[in-house]
């Protein structure tokens, strides 16, 4: 028996870097420092009133008990209708399961499919949790660097080179956290042509930012480009980002019956069903008035444009225009090798991030956390005034480097 009380699979993983960065910023704020926090990855809006009302009504009507493990009939019907409406995807009720957030959906999907050493292809930059979730489920993360020249997207040649007989999953997140890059139908088709040669590979689409798009385009779904891969694809989504419902913890999965059934079994022996009241709220979000989505996206777009212009005017920084999500992934190669007024050399993006925090109190997350450097991620899910203040401070800090 190991001398540690903590299991090896947990000792392999680390706390989320964005949570650690937010904690550090909050600690400095408690110490009285003026901090501009551009770390958080959640909408700064309140959940719309009609969704909150649905939750209140659910409580009043006594919807406070266990539900079916897969989720209430009402919520699963709403998910079936949503997938049909937004992406033309047809799923039966027994091919859907509601989970406590998309995060737990992804973790649970790895948990039911990965044998020790099975590989998960994770295009980088990636959402910080994918590699650690893979490790926690005894899998092997295979990260593939997708440079800015390729729009931060995986190419068919890269996919082909990354696949081995042990590959279990390809993860696709479009629009992406942290880059906002979104795949086109044609790009999906080219990836699907590679996958056709490798029947052991399953595809997980993390669609959590699908509605946060700035070009007015509907985000194409991988399965629209590759319907023949339906039996190998797990669709993961949730209400957190689209409807400002991060705290309600409702995600969902649509996929082939055997995978959904295995998820049902695992979750029935671990978390049980997700919160009954949140399920009622999520059904109202999916079925109800969608005008909140357009309004919030218009606000994110204003912030994106204003912040992008300010950042790209700072010598040494550059940022590609994100197609969606609510982050800027800012290249800081031009600052690497420079010295701070105290004489410290900025050797990597982590040093840049520490310098911004210590010198001007701006909190952002280093690109190392997302697997592609030298960059840092700045969240635009905050007011335009705070973003302007953050950009001014970053410009001031950069001007003092030599």
Binding residues for ligand PLP, per CB under 6 A? 41, 101-103, 127, 173, 177, 206, 208, 238, 240, 246, 251
Under a CB-based contact definition with an 8 Å cutoff, are residues 29 and 35 in contact?
A: yes
CB of 213 to ligand PLP, least distance (A): 15
Burial of 277 (0-12, 13-18, 19+ CB in 10 A): middle
CB of 247 to ligand PLP, least distance (A): 9
CB of 274 to ligand PLP, least distance (A): 11
Encoded tokens for 110: 């790895």
CB of 248 to ligand PLP, least distance (A): 9
* Residue with smaller CB distance to ligand PLP, 109 or 398: 109
CB of 275 to ligand PLP, least distance (A): 13
Question: Can you tell me the distance from the alpha carbon of 221 to that of 87, in angstroms, rounded to the nearest whole number?
Answer: 6
* Residue with smaller CB distance to ligand PLP, 246 or 261: 246
Question: Can you tell me the distance from the alpha carbon of 243 to that of 10, in angstroms, rounded to the nearest whole number?
Answer: 32
Question: Can you tell me the distance from the alpha carbon of 210 to that of 102, in angstroms, rounded to the nearest whole number?
Answer: 13
Encoded tokens for 376: 């840092």
CB of 246 to ligand PLP, least distance (A): 5
Encoded tokens for 138: 């005894």
* Residue with smaller CB distance to ligand PLP, 41 or 390: 41
E-assigned strand segments in 289-390: 318-319, 327-331, 362-363, 365-366, 375-379
Residue closest to ligand PLP, measured at CB: 101
* Residue with smaller CB distance to ligand PLP, 102 or 235: 102
* Residue with smaller CB distance to ligand PLP, 195 or 236: 236
CB of 279 to ligand PLP, least distance (A): 14
Encoded tokens for 2: 């190991």
* Residue with smaller CB distance to ligand PLP, 106 or 353: 106
* Residue with smaller CB distance to ligand PLP, 194 or 236: 236
Residue with tokens 């957190």: 240
* Residue with smaller CB distance to ligand PLP, 74 or 206: 206
CA distances from 136 to 10, 111, 157, 272, 358 (A): 6, 8, 29, 20, 33
CB of 91 to ligand PLP, least distance (A): 19
DSSP SS3 for 388 = helix
* Residue with smaller CB distance to ligand PLP, 326 or 355: 326
CB of 127 to ligand PLP, least distance (A): 4
Under a CB-based contact definition with an 8 Å cutoff, are residues 99 and 123 in contact?
A: no
**Residue 329: strand pairing partners:** 377
Question: Can you tell me the distance from the alpha carbon of 360 to that of 37, in angstroms, rounded to the nearest whole number?
Answer: 11
Residue with tokens 């295995």: 262
Quick count: other Cβ atoms within 10 Å of Cβ 396? 13
* Residue with smaller CB distance to ligand PLP, 95 or 206: 206
DSSP SS3 for 316 = coil
Q: Angle CA(181)–CA(186)–CA(192) in degrees, nearest 5?
A: 95
Q: List the alpha helices (DSSP H) in 137-198.
A: 156-162, 185-195
CB of 77 to ligand PLP, least distance (A): 20
């Amino acid at each position: 028996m190991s001398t540690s009380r903590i299991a090896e699979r947990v000792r392999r993983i680390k706390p989320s870097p964005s949570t650690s960065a937010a904690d550090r910023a909050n600690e400095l704020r408690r110490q009285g420092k003026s901090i501009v926090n551009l770390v958080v990855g959640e909408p700064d809006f309140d959940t719309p009133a009609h969704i909150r009302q649905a939750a209140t009504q659910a409580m009043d009507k006594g919807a406070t008990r266990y539900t079916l493990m897969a989720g209430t009939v009402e919520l699963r019907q709403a998910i079936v209708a949503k997938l049909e409406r937004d992406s033309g995807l047809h799923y039966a009720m027994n091919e859907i399961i509601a989970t406590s957030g998309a995060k737990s959906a992804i973790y649970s999907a790895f948990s039911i499919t990965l044998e020790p050493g099975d590989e998960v292809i994770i295009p980088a930059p990636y959402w910080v949790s994918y590699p650690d979730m893979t490790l926690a489920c005894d899998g092997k993360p295979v990260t593939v660097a997708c440079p800015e020249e390729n729009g931060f997207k995986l190419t068919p040649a890269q996919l082909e080179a990354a696949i081995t007989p042990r590959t279990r999953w390809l993860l696709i997140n479009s629009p992406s956290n942290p880059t906002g890059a979104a795949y086109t139908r044609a790009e999906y088709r080219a990836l699907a042509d590679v996958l056709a040669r490798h029947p052991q590979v399953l595809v997980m689409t993390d669609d959590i930012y699908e509605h946060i798009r700035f070009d007015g385009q509907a985000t194409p779904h991988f399965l629209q480009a590759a319907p023949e891969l339906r039996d190998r694809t797990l669709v993961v989504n949730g209400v957190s980002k689209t409807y400002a419902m991060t705290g309600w913890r409702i995600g969902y999965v649509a996929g082939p019956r055997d995978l959904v059934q295995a998820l049902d079994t695992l979750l029935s022996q671990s978390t049980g069903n997700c919160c009954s009241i949140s399920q009622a709220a999520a059904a109202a979000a999916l079925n109800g008035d969608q005008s909140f989505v357009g309004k919030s996206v218009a606000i994110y777009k204003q912030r994106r444009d204003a912040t992008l212009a300010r950042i790209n005017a700072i010598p040494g920084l550059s940022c590609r225009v994100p197609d969606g999500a609510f982050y800027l992934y800012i290249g800081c190669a031009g600052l690497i090798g420079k010295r701070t007024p105290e004489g410290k050399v900025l050797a990597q993006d982590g040093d840049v991030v520490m310098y911004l925090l210590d010198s001007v109190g701006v909190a952002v997350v280093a690109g190392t956390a997302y697997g592609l450097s030298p960059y840092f991620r700045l969240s635009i899910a905050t007011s335009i005034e705070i973003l302007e203040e953050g950009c001014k401070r970053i410009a001031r800090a950069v001007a003092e480097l030599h």
